[in-house]
Structure 1
């Protein structure tokens, strides 16, 4: 693991050299491929150095981080072409990457907490520094305070765990099982807000709408996965209390998923629609995870990776339209089929991924999750059917409203995408549909 971290550390000087933007992006892609060849398919930590190591869950999420961050640089070409503090932008993004790699590869619970919270800071700078509207300040405050409010109890909980067990190593903590309700709530809440669970999700749409495309991609691609990853790590030693209280989170998430899907159906802002659909998807991930069954845990891991690629791709598409038309409103982004016919294919492909059509990884994840939730309680079939139906409904709404209809008069000129944009979308869509062939990695690691 240390070789990957050193690779990223040595990219810091490159950020401050002139005309090195694409160099950094190419190096990140190279690093992704180096990391793919490591192929860590083990359910305990290997390649351990100092306090970092790698197992299957970390491997998938670190790979996702490297991939999404290299695509972020490809998507943020406008920052480079307008020279909008491009060196600071690069520095910020590499900083974020290193914090994410540390978060996902920490073996120690406290180190995990430290980097988990630190990764908030570069994201905040992305939103405040490169966002579009003046409301980005409010979005930043929401993002910060929702997360910080619940993370202090978590810190106290971690110290309590250390006092009782004398270790903070994830692998050793699996031997323990705590029965303290307060510990359970203090450790779980920080991750629930980060997921985000319905009722504590309000920071997410705000942050997404105000963030630049890079901010949206990292928020949807990685930040929401931090919560799921944390739960996968702390659930093993909180099982006993989990059996008592997990039904609360499952119920809130499933009902919340349906309500959020209804909210999606009346959004006029492209980004807000995609952001709310993220809340619905992460709701079903959280429910599956909280059933603590084999299929639930595997399914939540699969869907987290799938959602990271899919949502990020949709935000890229929304940004491509935004750069052309100067607006994200569905009232103006109509009839794009006439305006950018070649992009309509990508809208279709990524929208179908969003509603879990085969052969995407989303489908695998959702099959697992629906199995686990229904086997947990058959009453949930009712809510799940609504959730699946509305999921398809708002995705169709997004696709048909943006592609069909009367073209807005202000945009009467023909525009195709650039090669960079097609490559960007292909690199989101291709792994998403190829990973279904490697479904064993997502499901056989427990």
Structure 2
């Protein structure tokens, strides 16, 4: 695990040289394929080095992180064109990838906390530095304070565990079982805000709308997954109390997911709609993890990876439209099939993935989550039906509104998509649909 970290560190000087924008991207692609060929033991931590290790859960999420960061560079061609603080952008992105890589590969709970919070800094810089409207300052502060408010209790919880056990290696935690209310709350709230759970989700739509395309991609692709990853790691050593209290979070997330799905149908801003749909998807993930059963854990892991690729691709599509029209409003973005018919196909493919149509990872993830929630309580079936129905509803609403209908008469000069954008969308869509062939890797690793 250390070798890839060193590789990332040595990429930092490249950011300061001239004309290195695409080279950095190519090196990240290379790193991606090198990492993909690691031999991973499904059951235990392997590739151990200096408090770092990798099991199946870390492996998938690190792979996703490197992939999304590579595609972020590809999507940010506008910065390259206008040379808008290009070197600092690359530096910021490498720093962000280092933080994410360390977060997912740390076996020490305290170090995990440190990098978990550290990944906030480059994200904040992305939103505040490369965002477009003045509202980005407020969005950045929302993101910062929502996350910081619950991160201190998490730190206190980790210190308490260290005091009790004299060890905070995640691997050894499975032999312990804490049964304390305050510890349970302090350990889990930080991850619920990061997911984000309904009630503490307000920072997410704001951050997405104000962020540049790269910021939106990393927020949707990886940042929300940090919360799920943390929950999967932490709930292992708090099983007794989880079985007592988890019903609260399941109820909140199911009702919240339904309400957010309705709210998606009221949105007029494309980015805002995609951001709210992320909250609806993540509410299912929270529900699945909180049922504490095998199907829930598998399904949440699958849906996290599927949603990371799918949501990131949708933000790329919204950005392609924004670069042409300088507006994200659905009223101005209607009838786009007249101008960019081939892009219309990509809208269809990615939105059908968002509503979990076969053969994409999201379908398998949602089937597993529905299985886990219905086995937990058959009453949850009502909410699950509503969430599934409305998730198809807002996906169709976004597609039909943006592609069909009369186009705005204010459009007067236009250029259609370029090959870089098609490649970018292809690299989101292909893994999402090809990985279903290797579903056994995702489903059988306990």
Q: TM-score, normalised by structure 1?
A: 0.99
Structure 2 partner of 1:112: 112
Change in 2 beyond 3 A, CA 1:41/1:414: farther
Aligned to 1:441: 441
Aligned to 1:160: 160
Match of 1:219 in 2: 219
Q: Distance in 2 between matches of 1:323 and 1:43?
A: 46
* SS of match in other structure, 2:175: coil
Q: Distance in 1 between matches of 2:190 and 2:434?
A: 33
SS of residue matched to 2:416: coil
**Matches of 1:35 and 1:410, distance apart in 2:** 48
1:407 corresponds in structure 2 to 407
Q: Once the two structures are superposed, what CA deviation does each residue of 1:253-300 show, in whole Å capped at 9, x if it has no partner?
A: 000000000000010000000000000000000100100100000000
In structure 2, the residue corresponding to 1:133 is in which secondary structure? coil
Deviating above 3 A after TM superposition, structure 1's stretches of 4 or more consecutive aligned residues are: 412-415
Q: Secondary structure at the match of 1:274?
A: helix
Instruction: Kindly indicate whether the alpha-carbon contact (under 8 Å) linking 1:132 and 1:210 is maintained by their aligned counterparts in 2.
Output: yes
Distance in 1 between residues matched to 2:53 and 2:78, nearest whole Å: 36
The yes-or-no answer on 1:76 pairing with 2:101 is no
The correspondence of residues 121-140 of structure 1 with structure 2, limited to 5 A, is 121-140=121-140
1:3-82 correspondence runs (5 A): 3-82=3-82
Give the number of equivalent residue pairs: 446
Conservation of the 8 A alpha-carbon contact between 2:324 and 2:414:
no
Classify the secondary structure of the residue corresponding to 1:174. Answer: helix
2:324 aligns with 324
Aligned counterparts of 2:104 and 2:26: Cα–Cα separation in 1: 23
Q: 1:169 to 1:80 in 2, by over 3 A?
A: same
Match of 2:190 in 1: 190
Q: CA deviation at 1:118?
A: 0.3
Asked whether the 8 Å contact 1:340–1:414 carries over to 2, the reply is no
- Cα distance, 1:51 vs structure 2: 1.1
User: Offset of 1:409 from its aligned partner?
Assistant: 1.1
Shift of 1:41: 4.2
User: Gaps spanning 5+ residues in structure 2: where?
Assistant: none
Tell me the CA shift for residue 346 of structure 1.
0.3
Residues in 1 aligned to 2:96 and 2:196: alpha-carbon distance in whole angstroms? 20
Residue 411 of structure 1 deviates from its aligned partner by 1.9
RMSD (CA atoms)? 0.7
Name the counterpart of 2:355. Answer: 355
For residue 294 of structure 2, what is the aligned residue in structure 1? Answer: 294
**Partners of 1:405 and 1:413 in 2: CA distance:** 19
Structure 1 residue 410 displacement after superposition: 2.1
Deviation of 1:412 after TM superposition, in Å, equals: 4.2
Deviation at 1:40, TM superposition (A): 1.8
* SS of match in other structure, 1:47: strand
C-alpha distance in 1 between matches for 2:182 and 2:280: 28
In 2, distance between residues paired with 1:300 and 1:43? Answer: 18
Question: Which residue of the partner structure matches residue 91 of structure 1?
Answer: 91
Quote how far apart the aligned CAs of 1:342 are: 1.0
1:309 aligned residue: 309
Q: Alpha-carbon deviation of 1:415? A: 3.2
Q: How far apart, CA to CA, are the structure 1 residues paired with 2:233 and 2:384?
A: 26
Conserved 8 A contact 1:339-1:412: no
Asked if the contact 1:334–1:405 (Cα under 8 Å) also holds between the matched residues in 2, the reply is yes
Contact 1:127–1:140 (CA under 8 A) maintained in structure 2: yes
Judged with a 3 Å threshold, the aligned counterparts in structure 2 of structure 1 residues 39 and 403 are, in CA distance, closer, same or farther, namely farther
CA contact (8 A) 1:361 1:435 kept: yes
Equivalent in the alignment of 2:275: 275
- Separation in 2 of the partners of 1:216 and 1:91? 18
How far did 1:39 drift? 4.0
Instruction: For structure 1, list consecutive stretches of 5 or more residues without a partner in the other structure.
Output: none
Deviation (angstroms), 1:43: 2.4
Measured after TM superposition, the shift of residue 414 of structure 1 is 5.3
CA contact (8 A) 1:96 1:122 kept: yes
Q: Residue in 1 aligned with 2:398?
A: 398
CA distance in 2, matches of 1:416, 1:40: 43
